[in-house]
Structure 1
Amino acid sequence: MNVTRQEVNAETALLTVQVSPADYQSKVAASLDKYRKQAKIPGFRPGKVPMGLIQKQYGKGVLAEEMNKLVSDALYAYVQENKLEILGNPIPKEGSEVKGDFDNPGDFEFVYEIGYAPTIDLKLTNKSKYDYVQVKIDDKLIDQQIDDLRRRYGKMTSTDEVNETDMILAQFVELNEDGSIKEGGIMHSSTTSMEFIEDKKVKKSLVGKKVGDKVTVSASAITRGDSDKAAMLGIKPEELANHSDSYQMTINDIKRMELAELNQELFDKLFGEGAISSEKELRERIGADLKNMFANDSDRLLTREVYRDLVENTPVNLPDTFLKRWIQLSNEKPITIEQIEADYDSYAKDLKWQLIQGHIFKANDIKLDNAEVIEFTKGLIANQFAQYGIPAPEDAELTKQAAGALQNRDEANRIYDMLAETKLTQYFKDTVKLNSKEISYDEFVELASK
């Protein structure tokens, strides 16, 4: 068997595989003998079917199967031995025909096309400058965080009059267009939260209402979307179309969150006994925690910015024609060239980034070894426990859980991607010049959402 290469251009080449009878005859004979031993043909005992009959019935198919294996193995070996960096897999040359006769087998010749992975010339140095955006941890943000914590550990109490943050317990009765009660309509007791009402006019109309007051409201105006509205009315979302949006709301109770006091009891609940002993220490701790929390988001914004710059400005010549055919031939379901063309720009952009990322890892000897992946996974699991205020298990149990998580292919891929991004971000931070820039929390959220 012989494989030769013909360069078409800088992006593609042709591999010609020549196969002689000596390459496949013994393999075909062995496969046919196996068929003979297993074949169940009326009139013949198992294993006694004449080889001529087996050859006639299965010969051509077996030859094609063995030939496919031989050619695939030869192509793979040639690519490996010659250290060719290719994209996808070799595909049959468009318009070429197999030279050889499967009815009268002799010499065969197959022609395949390969697409070369482009050379990456990455211009990323300590002269490359990027903004490193951070949230400004000011008194306002710390106050908001403290209020959230006090609310989380506070308690609900009944009050007489509605304010802008209360929860209203009420009975909702469906109305006709003229404002009269709809016979057989919805009558359901539920709750609505003033904090979630976005319509300022509606919100203002409810402030000051008292227990026992009856108010006509739009169900849509006091809920957040169809699922929330259906839950408030005690029906399924698909039933909303059969009902009015106008309801009489009779206020039965008004619940107000009474914030937890800033005292040692709250400090101990939040951070453990004796860890914090004053409001000053609390503010310092919250400020530090917020800084650490937003650090990961700042890293992600930096990586996103560098990614955009590298993808837009790094020359990467892809073998586009080859890749489009490869996508069409390798797709599990039939797909037209028109469909491929419609999505190709997005595919090419993703591939370009993969090649750039691969180049960075290879050029800088960045690796993901198993021990490191286990430690990273243990950290993720420990953080999950911490989110629920639960101490992490002992190291041996953490290691066992990490190994179990990595047995799941999808979960393992997700974890490897996270660790790869972490290493990539660190490479960027170590390599480029960072222009530290502090912005408000609201500005940060807006920037991150773009």
Structure 2
Amino acid sequence: MATVVRENLGQLHDKLTVKVSKEDYLPSFEKKLKDYSKTANIPGFRKGMVPAGMIKKMYGNSLFTDEILKSVEKELYTWLNKERPEIFGQPLPLASDLQNMDINNPADYEFGFEIGLKPEYTMADLAKAKLTMHKVDVTDAMVDEEISRMQIKGGKMTEPETVTNDENVLNLLFTEADKDGNVVEGGVSKENSVILKYFTAAVQKKFMDKKAGDVVTVQLSKAFEEDKLAMFLQDLGFDKDDKEAGKKYFNLEVVKVGLVEKRELNEEFFKEIYPAKEIKTTEELKASIKEEIEAYWLAQSKNQLQDQIYHYLVDETKMDFPAEFLKRWLQTSGEKEKTAEQADTEFPGFSNQLKWTLISDKLVHEQRLEVSNEELRDYMKIEIMRYFGTMNLGDDTSWIESYIDRMMKDEKQVDASYRRLITDKLFTWLEGQVKAKEKTVTPEELTAMQHHHHH
């Protein structure tokens, strides 16, 4: 009779030894042989008339091994379903010598498996979390800048003869040179478009009144502020952080001067921007845009607060893990096996992910957070509408429902949508559990904070 023996290997790390006797697997092995002899198609024999000895000789070894392993698996999962230990993933098989299985000498066999146990833990107290809600005040200047961007986007390109203001778009031929403008043989040469205001004030001045064919020689690091320099270094084929490349000189030959004629602020333009709204005046447009910008930055503020909550829970909740088991799991569970060194490198990030999974699963269960089919369908509909954007989808949108029906049959799609919605619900609940102090920051400051966003 098959048995399972459990023994401890270390912290949260156990071994299960599954023992099977020949009585556990021989009856099913012999039945398999008989079934094979009834169905095998072997030249020279009628179907169902193949001698059992020949079947045993041809297929016996693989059938014998299969039946033993099936008995072991059945016993292992019967034990797991009965005892219900809280384990990570699946049991990992320990090395076993399959060569010792002898069809001519059936015996009792033992197979070892290791399991990693989930830890018991006390979650960090959210009431003690010192968190800050970083808010952006939307200014008139931000609204005006957005309107100007829309006017340029909706405007038309003109081609004046000379450079007259910082909104001019210049088609420039960048040619590597020395500081006196002598071209470097075999150096970089590339055409690029640049809005004049991207240059530093000193270089902008040099371009004023220039026309096609005129050349201005610049040193890259002095032609662009640091944030723009990285972008242009990459465009020219250098590494964005290459300090030596920044010291290089280039001749900038004006190929063409352009200027976008801004779109006039009138009702026709307002209708294009907001087809669903009745906007008649510039003031109404500003109010509408301000509302949108405020909604955007409020969402960013919430994301950043959620990031703080995530880090507080992960960093302050103390948890033990079966490290050796999990590292072996990391090595063997993927499509491609990893080395021990790779598993060691990945383990800190991996254990943080596991920690968050345990915490979030527990909270979702305790707070009885759920996602209904209706919510899944609504979410998918929003995603479809976002994908098609402002395209005119016509009056008949019944196809959307059948499209959602298809999406609901796609397990991966449903799982991804569920995870997104349940995570949103969890963080909405978590936000309600913390008392965050408010602090006003600039858009740039909030964006910089989001570069450390991990959940």
Deviations 1:18-56 (A, max 9, x none): 323333223222332344355565654554332123223
Matches within 5 A, 1:388-403: 388=390, 390=392, 396-403=398-405
Q: How far apart, CA to CA, are the structure 2 residues paired with 1:393 and 1:123?
A: 52
Contact 1:39 1:46 in 2 (8 A): yes
1:338-353, aligned counterparts within 5 Å?
A: 338-353=341-356
Alignment partner, residue 105 of structure 1: 106
1:329–1:36 Cα change, 3 Å:
farther
Cα deviation digits, residues 230-268 of structure 1 (max 9, x gap): 8xxxxxxxxxxxxx99667254x4221222222222222
Question: In 2, distance between residues paired with 1:173 and 1:379?
Answer: 45
- Structure 1: 5+ residue stretches without partners: 231-243
Counterpart position of 1:440 = 442
Which residue number in structure 2 is paired with residue 239 of structure 1?
A: none
1:251-290 per-residue CA deviation (whole Å, 9 max, x = no partner) reads 4x42212222222222222212761222222222111111
Give the residue type in structure 2 aligned to 1:337. A
2-structure distance, mates of 1:196, 1:412: 47
Equivalent in the alignment of 2:54 = 53
Cα distance, 1:306–1:75 mapped onto 2, change above 3 Å = same
Q: Which moved more, 1:421-430 or 1:376-385?
A: 376-385
Residue 203 (structure 1) shift? 4.5
- Provide the secondary structure at the position in 2 that maps to 1:18: strand
Change in 2 beyond 3 A, CA 1:147/1:2: same
Tell me how far 1:411 sits from its aligned partner.
Answer: 4.3
> Which among 253, 259, 269 is matched to residue 249 of structure 1?
253
Greater alpha carbon shift after TM alignment, 213-222 vs 143-152: 213-222
CA distance 1:195–1:108, change in 2 (3 Å): farther
Aligned with 1:416 (options 398, 415, 418): 418
| TM-superposed deviation, 1:305 | 1.1
- Contact preservation (8 Å) 1:299, 1:425: no
Which residue identity is paired with 1:440?
T
Could you report, residue by residue, the CA deviation over 1:125-177 in whole angstroms, capped at 9, with x for unpaired residues? 4554422222211222212212112222222223233232212246x597888
CA distance in 2, matches of 1:204, 1:46: 94
The question of whether the paired residues in 2 share the 8 Å contact of 1:159 and 1:255 is answered with yes
When residues 214 and 313 of structure 1 are mapped into structure 2, their CA distance, relative to the original with a 3 A threshold, is closer
* Code of the aligned partner of 2:347: Y
CA pair 200-52 structure 1, distance change in 2 beyond 3 A: farther
TM-score by length of 1: 0.81
CA distance in 2, matches of 1:175, 1:131: 49
CA contact (8 A) 1:98 1:110 kept: no
Cα shift readout 1:177-227 (whole Å, capped 9, x = no counterpart): 896899999999x66222585566554432331245345678997994588
Is structure 2 residue 339 aligned with structure 1 residue 321? no
Q: Does 1:88 find its partner at 2:89? A: yes
CA 1:185–1:437 in structure 2 vs 1: closer, same or farther (change >3 Å)? closer
CA separation of 1:425/1:390 partners in 2, compared to 1, >3 Å: closer, same or farther? Answer: farther
- In the other structure, the counterpart of 2:432 is 430
The one-character-per-residue Cα deviations of 1:351-392 (angstroms, maximum 9, x if unpaired) are 11111111111121222333322221112222334x436469
Matches within 5 A, 1:164-203: 164-169=166-171, 172=173, 192-195=193-196, 197=198, 202-203=203-204
Letter in 2 for 1:108: Y
Sequence identity percentage = 28
The amino acid that maps onto 1:261 is E
Structure 1 residue aligned with 2:241: none
Q: Distance in 2 between matches of 1:407 and 1:214?
A: 62
- Alpha-carbon spacing, 1:125–1:449, altered in 2? closer, same or farther (3 Å): closer
Q: Normalising to structure 2: TM-score of the pair?
A: 0.81
Equivalent-residue separation in structure 2 for 1:185 and 1:346 (angstroms): 44
Deviates more, 1:373-382 or 1:173-182: 173-182
Query: Secondary structure of 2:209's match?
Result: coil
Aligned pairs, how many?
432
1:312 alignment partner in structure 2: 315
Pairwise CA RMSD: 3.7
Once the 2 structures are TM-superposed, how far is the Cα of residue 320 of structure 1 from its aligned partner?
A: 0.8
- Paired with 2:31 and 2:201, the residues of 1 have a C-alpha distance of 82
Map 1:286-297; keep pairs closer than 5 Å.
286-297=289-300
What residue in structure 1 maps to residue 124 of structure 2?
Answer: 123
Going from structure 1 to structure 2, the CA distance change for 1:300 and 1:37 (only over 3 Å counts) comes to farther
Partner of 2:243: none
Go from structure 1 to structure 2 and tell me whether the alpha carbon gap of 1:113 and 1:295 turns closer, same or farther (over 3 Å shift): same
**In structure 2, what is the Cα distance between the partners aligned to 1:429 and 1:46?**
70
* Unaligned stretches of 5+ residues in structure 2: 238-247
- Relative distance call for 1:182 and 1:12 in structure 2 (3 A) is closer
Q: CA deviation at 1:87?
A: 0.3
Q: What residue is the counterpart of 1:337 in the other structure?
A: 340
Distance 1:132 1:203, change over 3 A: same
State the distance in 1 between where 2:428 and 2:395 align.
Answer: 28
SS of match in other structure, 2:89: strand
